[in-house]
């Protein structure tokens, strides 16, 4: 079993959880995910996911201009994003409990 395959299914909820703590821009979110232990996560996958969650209405977005370099695009969670995150937390808890029980029983 490949952890990157598992990650695909939970990247949405992981990104939402990271942004829930504090607004973040693309690479910042990547860094926080890696710091949390998801070291295999790909930059482009995270940027794409941020964009998709924004399009789906779960995130807000704003651009912060920079005088020295290129500007950064920040993402923050909104009410819909929080509701989604709560729901996915429950789903994940049930699923992980089921899987843990299953794997430990056998």
Residues that bind another protein in the complex, under the rule CB under 8 A:
11, 25-28, 30-31, 42-49, 51-52, 55, 63, 66, 68-73
CB of 42 to another protein, least distance (A): 6
Between 42 and 57, whose beta carbon lies closer to another protein? Answer: 42
Closest alpha carbon to 28 in 47, 12, 9: 47
11 or 77: CB nearest another protein: 11
Return phi, psi of residue 96, to 5°.
-70, -35
Smaller CB separation from another protein, 15 or 85: 15
Distance, C-alpha 19 to centroid of its chain = 7
Structure tokens given for 9: 């299914």
């Amino acid at each position: 079993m490949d952890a990157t395959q598992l990650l695909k299914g939970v990247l949405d909820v992981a990104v939402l959880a990271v942004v829930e703590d504090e607004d973040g821009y693309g690479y910042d979110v990547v860094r926080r995910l890696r710091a949390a232990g998801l070291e295999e996560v790909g930059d482009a996958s995270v940027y794409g996911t941020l964009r998709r969650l924004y399009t789906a209405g779960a995130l807000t977005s704003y651009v912060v201009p920079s005088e020295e370099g290129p500007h950064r695009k920040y993402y923050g969670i909104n009410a819909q994003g929080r509701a989604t995150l709560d729901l996915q937390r429950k789903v994940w808890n049930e699923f992980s409990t089921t899987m843990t029980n299953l794997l430990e029983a056998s």
